[in-house]
Amino acid sequence: MIGRLMIHAKEAWRGAVDVAKLLCVLHVTNKYLVSPSLAMGPSMLPTMNITGDVVLCEKISPRLGKVGPGDIVLVRSPENPKKCLVKRVMGVEGDRVTYVADPKNDDNRYETAVVPKGHIWIQGDNIYASRDSRQFGAVPYGLLQAKVFYRVSLFLLH
């Protein structure tokens, strides 16, 4: 009887260790390699849906400095650190970025900014409905969380 209990206890222990290993792998994968995120809102129209898309974000490229103009990235908001933004990189340190200062105004006044060292310039694809570097300036590279590499449209899942 006791021998049988010991065998069951060993099997339960091995199962618990396997579950702990799996949870560790999932944590490391999510924290340091790849994680899903929900991109929602009008700022990235037409690239992403206003009703939301799930994006897969890899976290290695930003750590290696392999992010450049044209990439879509996940950035911690400089205005609200509890929030993450999905935007397109328009320039990296040293680049000159020309943008429409106030797209809602009909005068289409253009301004140019030089991206400072250690910063990136981000903008939403929908310049009429996006809070981005045009309002809060270049974003420190330290706020860059990940680079988007895959998008799943939630519209298709309905």
Catalytic residues: 43, 87
- Report helix, strand or coil for 4: helix
Instruction: Give the Cα separation of 135 and 151 in Å (integer).
Output: 27
Q: How many CA atoms lie within 13 Å of 87's alpha carbon, on the beta-carbon side?
A: 27
Distance, CA of 47 to CA of 86 (rounded, Å):
11
Peptide bond before 46: cis, by omega within 30 degrees of 0? yes
